[in-house]
Amino acid sequence: MRKLTNILVTGGAGFIGSNFVRVLLNDSAFKGRVINVDKLTYAGNANSLNDVAEAKGDRYIFEHADICDRAKMDEILSKYDIDTIVHLAAESHVDRSIEGPGAFVQTNIVGTFTLLDAARQFWAGKEGVLFHHVSTDEVYGSLGDTGYFTETTPYDPHSPYSASKASSDHLVRAYHDTYGFPITLSNCSNNYGPYQFPEKLIPVMIENMLQRKALPVYGDGKNIRDWLYVEDHNSAVWAIMQNGTLGGSYNIGGENEWENIRLLHELIDIVSEEANINKEELTSLITYVKDRPGHDRRYAIDCDKLKNELGWKQSVTFEEGLRKTVKWYLENREWIEQIQSGEYLKWIELNYSAR
Protein backbone atom coordinates (compact mmCIF):
# COMPACT_ATOMS: atom_id res chain seq x y z
CA MET A 1 0.00 0.00 0.00
CA ARG A 2 1.31 3.48 -0.92
CA LYS A 3 1.99 5.94 1.88
CA LEU A 4 0.27 9.16 0.80
CA THR A 5 0.84 12.14 3.08
CA ASN A 6 0.39 15.65 1.68
CA ILE A 7 -2.49 15.28 -0.73
CA LEU A 8 -3.45 18.05 -3.11
CA VAL A 9 -7.09 17.71 -4.18
CA THR A 10 -8.08 19.89 -7.14
CA GLY A 11 -11.75 20.84 -7.42
CA GLY A 12 -12.32 20.00 -3.76
CA ALA A 13 -15.10 22.58 -3.47
CA GLY A 14 -17.15 20.80 -6.15
CA PHE A 15 -19.60 17.93 -5.84
CA ILE A 16 -17.29 14.89 -6.00
CA GLY A 17 -14.20 16.72 -4.73
CA SER A 18 -15.82 17.90 -1.49
CA ASN A 19 -17.05 14.37 -0.85
CA PHE A 20 -13.56 13.01 -1.56
CA VAL A 21 -12.02 15.41 0.99
CA ARG A 22 -14.58 14.23 3.53
CA VAL A 23 -13.96 10.52 2.77
CA LEU A 24 -10.22 11.02 3.10
CA LEU A 25 -10.22 13.00 6.33
CA ASN A 26 -12.72 10.61 7.90
CA ASP A 27 -10.52 7.60 7.12
CA SER A 28 -8.87 6.91 10.47
CA ALA A 29 -5.93 5.23 8.71
CA PHE A 30 -5.05 8.47 6.89
CA LYS A 31 -2.92 10.74 9.06
CA GLY A 32 -1.81 13.27 6.46
CA ARG A 33 -2.97 16.68 5.24
CA VAL A 34 -5.38 17.66 2.48
CA ILE A 35 -4.76 20.79 0.46
CA ASN A 36 -7.88 21.74 -1.51
CA VAL A 37 -7.12 23.87 -4.60
CA ASP A 38 -10.24 25.31 -6.19
CA LYS A 39 -11.00 28.33 -8.38
CA LEU A 40 -14.57 28.51 -7.00
CA THR A 41 -16.40 28.71 -10.30
CA TYR A 42 -20.22 28.76 -10.26
CA ALA A 43 -20.04 25.02 -9.32
CA GLY A 44 -17.68 25.38 -6.36
CA ASN A 45 -18.67 26.27 -2.82
CA ALA A 46 -15.97 26.31 -0.15
CA ASN A 47 -18.71 26.31 2.50
CA SER A 48 -19.54 22.70 1.56
CA LEU A 49 -16.52 21.79 3.71
CA ASN A 50 -17.05 24.11 6.69
CA ASP A 51 -17.64 21.15 9.01
CA VAL A 52 -14.39 19.49 7.90
CA ALA A 53 -12.42 22.74 8.19
CA GLU A 54 -13.62 23.11 11.75
CA ALA A 55 -13.12 19.49 12.82
CA LYS A 56 -9.78 18.79 11.17
CA GLY A 57 -7.84 21.97 12.00
CA ASP A 58 -4.57 22.28 10.09
CA ARG A 59 -5.01 18.88 8.41
CA TYR A 60 -7.37 20.65 5.98
CA ILE A 61 -6.15 23.68 4.01
CA PHE A 62 -8.05 25.61 1.33
CA GLU A 63 -6.18 27.43 -1.47
CA HIS A 64 -8.28 29.59 -3.79
CA ALA A 65 -6.43 29.15 -7.11
CA ASP A 66 -6.81 28.35 -10.80
CA ILE A 67 -5.08 25.16 -11.98
CA CYS A 68 -4.16 27.03 -15.20
CA ASP A 69 -1.93 29.38 -13.16
CA ARG A 70 1.50 27.74 -13.41
CA ALA A 71 3.29 30.03 -10.95
CA LYS A 72 0.61 29.41 -8.33
CA MET A 73 0.72 25.63 -8.87
CA ASP A 74 4.54 25.68 -8.47
CA GLU A 75 4.17 27.69 -5.27
CA ILE A 76 1.52 25.37 -3.77
CA LEU A 77 3.40 22.15 -4.60
CA SER A 78 6.49 23.45 -2.89
CA LYS A 79 4.79 25.23 0.04
CA TYR A 80 3.01 22.05 1.21
CA ASP A 81 5.61 19.56 -0.04
CA ILE A 82 2.90 17.76 -2.02
CA ASP A 83 3.51 14.03 -2.66
CA THR A 84 0.09 13.14 -4.10
CA ILE A 85 -2.33 14.86 -6.43
CA VAL A 86 -5.89 13.78 -7.01
CA HIS A 87 -7.12 15.83 -9.92
CA LEU A 88 -10.88 16.49 -10.05
CA ALA A 89 -11.05 20.17 -11.02
CA ALA A 90 -12.94 20.52 -14.28
CA GLU A 91 -15.76 22.11 -16.12
CA SER A 92 -18.15 19.18 -15.79
CA HIS A 93 -21.53 19.87 -17.41
CA VAL A 94 -22.23 18.63 -20.95
CA ASP A 95 -24.94 21.23 -21.75
CA ARG A 96 -22.60 24.07 -20.81
CA SER A 97 -19.86 22.60 -23.00
CA ILE A 98 -22.26 22.81 -25.95
CA GLU A 99 -23.05 26.48 -25.24
CA GLY A 100 -19.46 27.50 -24.46
CA PRO A 101 -16.67 24.99 -25.13
CA GLY A 102 -13.81 27.46 -24.51
CA ALA A 103 -13.80 27.14 -20.72
CA PHE A 104 -13.71 23.33 -21.10
CA VAL A 105 -10.64 23.44 -23.32
CA GLN A 106 -9.00 25.87 -20.91
CA THR A 107 -9.59 24.12 -17.58
CA ASN A 108 -9.84 20.48 -18.65
CA ILE A 109 -7.00 20.44 -21.17
CA VAL A 110 -4.73 23.42 -20.47
CA GLY A 111 -5.32 23.18 -16.71
CA THR A 112 -4.52 19.46 -16.62
CA PHE A 113 -1.38 20.06 -18.67
CA THR A 114 -0.30 22.92 -16.37
CA LEU A 115 -0.71 20.80 -13.26
CA LEU A 116 0.97 17.76 -14.80
CA ASP A 117 3.96 19.76 -15.90
CA ALA A 118 4.32 21.58 -12.59
CA ALA A 119 4.23 18.20 -10.79
CA ARG A 120 6.72 16.63 -13.21
CA GLN A 121 9.19 19.41 -12.46
CA PHE A 122 8.57 19.43 -8.70
CA TRP A 123 8.78 15.64 -8.39
CA ALA A 124 11.87 15.15 -10.56
CA GLY A 125 14.02 12.52 -8.83
CA LYS A 126 11.46 11.92 -6.03
CA GLU A 127 10.09 8.48 -5.09
CA GLY A 128 6.68 7.62 -3.65
CA VAL A 129 4.71 10.33 -5.49
CA LEU A 130 1.42 9.90 -7.38
CA PHE A 131 -0.88 11.80 -9.74
CA HIS A 132 -4.41 10.33 -9.86
CA HIS A 133 -6.58 11.65 -12.68
CA VAL A 134 -10.36 11.49 -12.22
CA SER A 135 -12.14 11.04 -15.53
CA THR A 136 -15.42 9.95 -17.03
CA ASP A 137 -16.95 7.06 -18.94
CA GLU A 138 -18.16 9.63 -21.53
CA VAL A 139 -14.74 9.43 -23.23
CA TYR A 140 -15.81 6.04 -24.62
CA GLY A 141 -18.78 7.49 -26.54
CA SER A 142 -22.14 5.79 -26.77
CA LEU A 143 -23.31 2.16 -26.62
CA GLY A 144 -26.15 0.45 -28.45
CA ASP A 145 -28.62 -1.82 -26.64
CA THR A 146 -25.93 -4.25 -25.49
CA GLY A 147 -22.31 -4.29 -24.36
CA TYR A 148 -20.22 -2.47 -21.75
CA PHE A 149 -17.32 -0.02 -21.65
CA THR A 150 -14.11 -1.76 -20.56
CA GLU A 151 -10.70 -0.21 -19.96
CA THR A 152 -9.73 -1.11 -23.54
CA THR A 153 -12.78 0.36 -25.29
CA PRO A 154 -11.48 2.87 -27.88
CA TYR A 155 -12.11 6.54 -27.10
CA ASP A 156 -14.95 8.13 -29.11
CA PRO A 157 -16.09 11.33 -27.35
CA HIS A 158 -19.02 13.32 -28.77
CA SER A 159 -19.45 16.48 -26.70
CA PRO A 160 -16.90 19.24 -26.15
CA TYR A 161 -16.92 18.14 -22.47
CA SER A 162 -16.08 14.52 -23.19
CA ALA A 163 -13.57 15.50 -25.88
CA SER A 164 -11.78 17.76 -23.40
CA LYS A 165 -11.74 14.97 -20.79
CA ALA A 166 -10.46 12.49 -23.40
CA SER A 167 -7.70 14.91 -24.26
CA SER A 168 -6.73 15.27 -20.60
CA ASP A 169 -6.68 11.45 -20.21
CA HIS A 170 -4.33 11.17 -23.20
CA LEU A 171 -2.01 13.82 -21.73
CA VAL A 172 -1.90 12.01 -18.39
CA ARG A 173 -1.05 8.68 -20.06
CA ALA A 174 1.47 10.37 -22.34
CA TYR A 175 3.29 11.78 -19.30
CA HIS A 176 3.50 8.27 -17.88
CA ASP A 177 4.70 6.68 -21.12
CA THR A 178 7.10 9.48 -22.07
CA TYR A 179 8.56 10.61 -18.75
CA GLY A 180 7.81 7.66 -16.48
CA PHE A 181 5.55 10.07 -14.54
CA PRO A 182 3.66 8.10 -11.82
CA ILE A 183 -0.04 8.11 -12.61
CA THR A 184 -3.25 6.20 -12.01
CA LEU A 185 -6.48 7.02 -13.83
CA SER A 186 -10.17 6.28 -13.34
CA ASN A 187 -13.19 6.59 -15.64
CA CYS A 188 -16.48 6.69 -13.76
CA SER A 189 -20.16 6.69 -14.67
CA ASN A 190 -22.83 9.18 -13.51
CA ASN A 191 -22.52 10.18 -9.86
CA TYR A 192 -25.35 11.39 -7.65
CA GLY A 193 -25.66 12.41 -4.00
CA PRO A 194 -25.53 15.45 -1.71
CA TYR A 195 -23.90 18.74 -2.79
CA GLN A 196 -24.39 18.12 -6.54
CA PHE A 197 -24.92 21.38 -8.38
CA PRO A 198 -28.58 21.64 -9.51
CA GLU A 199 -27.83 21.56 -13.23
CA LYS A 200 -27.38 17.74 -13.46
CA LEU A 201 -30.38 15.45 -13.97
CA ILE A 202 -31.13 14.27 -10.42
CA PRO A 203 -30.80 17.58 -8.52
CA VAL A 204 -32.51 19.52 -11.34
CA MET A 205 -35.49 17.20 -11.09
CA ILE A 206 -35.62 17.29 -7.27
CA GLU A 207 -35.42 21.09 -7.22
CA ASN A 208 -38.01 21.54 -9.96
CA MET A 209 -40.39 19.17 -8.16
CA LEU A 210 -40.03 21.15 -4.94
CA GLN A 211 -40.74 24.38 -6.85
CA ARG A 212 -43.53 22.76 -8.98
CA LYS A 213 -41.63 23.64 -12.16
CA ALA A 214 -41.60 21.65 -15.42
CA LEU A 215 -39.43 18.50 -15.35
CA PRO A 216 -37.53 18.75 -18.65
CA VAL A 217 -36.89 15.35 -20.27
CA TYR A 218 -34.54 15.57 -23.24
CA GLY A 219 -35.62 13.77 -26.44
CA ASP A 220 -37.65 10.59 -25.90
CA GLY A 221 -36.36 10.07 -22.33
CA LYS A 222 -34.96 6.67 -23.24
CA ASN A 223 -31.27 7.49 -22.96
CA ILE A 224 -29.61 5.24 -20.42
CA ARG A 225 -27.08 6.16 -17.74
CA ASP A 226 -25.32 4.04 -15.12
CA TRP A 227 -25.69 5.65 -11.67
CA LEU A 228 -23.28 5.46 -8.73
CA TYR A 229 -23.52 7.05 -5.27
CA VAL A 230 -20.75 9.63 -4.90
CA GLU A 231 -19.21 7.98 -1.80
CA ASP A 232 -18.82 4.72 -3.72
CA HIS A 233 -16.99 6.57 -6.51
CA ASN A 234 -14.63 8.07 -3.97
CA SER A 235 -13.97 4.84 -2.08
CA ALA A 236 -12.91 3.43 -5.45
CA VAL A 237 -10.64 6.40 -6.22
CA TRP A 238 -9.03 6.09 -2.78
CA ALA A 239 -8.51 2.32 -3.27
CA ILE A 240 -6.88 2.91 -6.67
CA MET A 241 -4.63 5.62 -5.26
CA GLN A 242 -3.43 3.33 -2.48
CA ASN A 243 -3.14 0.03 -4.29
CA GLY A 244 -3.72 0.50 -8.03
CA THR A 245 -1.05 -0.37 -10.59
CA LEU A 246 1.06 2.61 -11.64
CA GLY A 247 0.15 3.63 -15.19
CA GLY A 248 -3.13 1.71 -14.85
CA SER A 249 -6.68 2.79 -15.71
CA TYR A 250 -9.75 1.57 -13.85
CA ASN A 251 -13.42 1.82 -14.78
CA ILE A 252 -15.76 2.66 -11.90
CA GLY A 253 -19.52 2.17 -12.14
CA GLY A 254 -22.74 1.33 -10.37
CA GLU A 255 -23.75 -1.60 -12.56
CA ASN A 256 -27.05 0.22 -12.28
CA GLU A 257 -28.56 1.21 -15.64
CA TRP A 258 -31.67 3.37 -15.81
CA GLU A 259 -33.59 4.97 -18.68
CA ASN A 260 -33.97 8.65 -17.80
CA ILE A 261 -37.76 8.52 -17.81
CA ARG A 262 -37.86 5.44 -15.57
CA LEU A 263 -35.47 7.12 -13.17
CA LEU A 264 -37.67 10.21 -13.13
CA HIS A 265 -40.72 8.15 -12.12
CA GLU A 266 -38.67 6.52 -9.33
CA LEU A 267 -37.61 9.96 -8.13
CA ILE A 268 -41.19 11.24 -8.23
CA ASP A 269 -42.22 8.36 -5.94
CA ILE A 270 -39.49 9.23 -3.42
CA VAL A 271 -39.98 13.02 -3.50
CA SER A 272 -43.72 12.57 -3.19
CA GLU A 273 -43.23 10.44 -0.04
CA GLU A 274 -40.42 12.45 1.56
CA ALA A 275 -41.81 15.94 0.81
CA ASN A 276 -45.45 14.92 1.10
CA ILE A 277 -46.44 16.18 -2.36
CA ASN A 278 -49.19 14.61 -4.44
CA LYS A 279 -47.66 12.12 -6.89
CA GLU A 280 -50.07 12.96 -9.73
CA GLU A 281 -49.22 16.65 -9.39
CA LEU A 282 -45.50 15.84 -9.78
CA THR A 283 -46.12 13.46 -12.69
CA SER A 284 -48.05 16.17 -14.52
CA LEU A 285 -44.91 18.33 -14.50
CA ILE A 286 -43.04 15.94 -16.86
CA THR A 287 -42.28 17.88 -20.06
CA TYR A 288 -40.52 16.46 -23.09
CA VAL A 289 -38.15 19.08 -24.55
CA LYS A 290 -35.78 19.36 -27.53
CA ASP A 291 -33.00 16.78 -27.36
CA ARG A 292 -29.41 17.60 -26.38
CA PRO A 293 -27.28 17.79 -29.57
CA GLY A 294 -25.00 14.74 -29.91
CA HIS A 295 -26.81 13.10 -26.97
CA ASP A 296 -25.12 9.77 -26.15
CA ARG A 297 -27.71 7.00 -26.05
CA ARG A 298 -26.41 4.54 -23.50
CA TYR A 299 -23.55 4.27 -21.01
CA ALA A 300 -22.81 1.01 -19.18
CA ILE A 301 -19.69 0.10 -17.27
CA ASP A 302 -17.73 -3.08 -16.85
CA CYS A 303 -15.82 -2.50 -13.60
CA ASP A 304 -14.63 -6.10 -13.09
CA LYS A 305 -10.97 -5.04 -13.17
CA LEU A 306 -11.48 -2.78 -10.16
CA LYS A 307 -13.49 -5.42 -8.31
CA ASN A 308 -11.13 -8.31 -9.01
CA GLU A 309 -7.83 -6.47 -8.58
CA LEU A 310 -8.65 -4.20 -5.64
CA GLY A 311 -11.66 -5.90 -4.02
CA TRP A 312 -13.84 -2.77 -4.36
CA LYS A 313 -17.61 -3.00 -4.46
CA GLN A 314 -20.58 -0.63 -4.39
CA SER A 315 -22.00 -0.19 -0.88
CA VAL A 316 -25.14 1.88 -1.41
CA THR A 317 -28.21 0.57 -3.28
CA PHE A 318 -29.89 2.96 -5.71
CA GLU A 319 -33.08 3.11 -3.61
CA GLU A 320 -31.07 3.99 -0.46
CA GLY A 321 -28.86 6.48 -2.29
CA LEU A 322 -31.75 8.28 -3.99
CA ARG A 323 -33.67 8.54 -0.72
CA LYS A 324 -30.62 9.90 1.14
CA THR A 325 -30.11 12.40 -1.68
CA VAL A 326 -33.71 13.62 -1.70
CA LYS A 327 -33.62 14.01 2.10
CA TRP A 328 -30.37 15.96 1.86
CA TYR A 329 -31.86 18.42 -0.66
CA LEU A 330 -34.92 18.84 1.55
CA GLU A 331 -32.81 19.50 4.65
CA ASN A 332 -30.17 21.79 3.13
CA ARG A 333 -32.12 24.66 1.60
CA GLU A 334 -29.48 27.18 2.67
CA TRP A 335 -26.79 25.46 0.58
CA ILE A 336 -29.08 25.38 -2.48
CA GLU A 337 -30.00 29.02 -2.15
CA GLN A 338 -26.37 30.03 -1.70
CA ILE A 339 -25.05 28.09 -4.68
CA GLN A 340 -27.90 29.19 -6.94
CA SER A 341 -27.44 32.85 -6.12
CA GLY A 342 -24.51 33.30 -8.54
CA GLU A 343 -23.57 32.69 -12.13
CA TYR A 344 -25.86 29.71 -12.66
CA LEU A 345 -29.12 31.59 -12.51
CA LYS A 346 -27.85 34.07 -15.14
CA TRP A 347 -26.75 31.18 -17.35
CA ILE A 348 -29.98 29.25 -17.00
CA GLU A 349 -31.99 32.34 -17.94
CA LEU A 350 -29.88 32.88 -21.07
CA ASN A 351 -29.76 29.30 -22.34
CA TYR A 352 -31.93 26.79 -20.65
CA SER A 353 -35.29 28.53 -20.65
CA ALA A 354 -34.92 29.02 -24.45
CA ARG A 355 -35.02 25.28 -25.16
The nearest distance, CB 77 to ligand NAD, in angstroms, is 14
What SS3 state is found at 248? coil
Burial, 54: exposed, middle or buried (Cβ in 10 Å; 0-12, 13-18, 19+)? exposed
Query: 263 or 282, CB closer to ligand NAD?
Result: 263
**Concatenated DSSP letters of 173-230:** HHHHHHH---EEEEEE-EEESTT--TTSHHHHHHHHHHTT--EEEETTS--EEEEEEH
The nearest distance, CB 116 to ligand DAU, in angstroms, is 20
Q: Which of residues 132-191 bind ligand DAU (CB under 6 A)?
A: 136-138, 189-190
260 binds ligand DAU per the rule CB under 6 A: yes
The nearest distance, CB 200 to ligand DAU, in angstroms, is 4
Determine the Cα–Cα distance for residues 150 and 128; give it in Å rounded to an integer. 28
Query: 32 or 221, CB closer to ligand DAU?
Result: 221
Strands (E), 14-58: 33-38
The nearest distance, CB 217 to ligand DAU, in angstroms, is 5
Position closest to ligand DAU via CB: 136
Per-residue x/- mask for ligand NAD, residues 199 to 238, rule CB under 6 A?
----------------------------------------
Region for 4 from its dihedrals, namely left if φ exceeds 0, alpha if ψ lies in -120 to 50, beta otherwise = beta
Q: Which residue in 60, 140, 148, 161 is the catalytic one?
A: 161
Answer yes or no: 257 catalytic.
no
Residues listed for the chain? 355
Answer yes or no: 296 catalytic.
no
Determine the Cα–Cα distance for residues 122 and 99; give it in Å rounded to an integer. 36
Residue 217 interacts with which of ligand DAU, ligand NAD, none, CB < 5 to 8 Å by class: ligand DAU
What SS3 state is found at 266? helix
Greatest pairwise CA separation for the chain in angstroms:
64
Binding interface with ligand NAD (CB under 6 A):
10-11, 13-17, 38-41, 43-44, 66-68, 88-92, 107, 111, 134-136, 165, 188, 190-191, 197
Binding interface with ligand DAU (CB under 6 A):
92-94, 136-138, 189-190, 200-201, 204, 216-218, 223, 225, 260, 292, 299
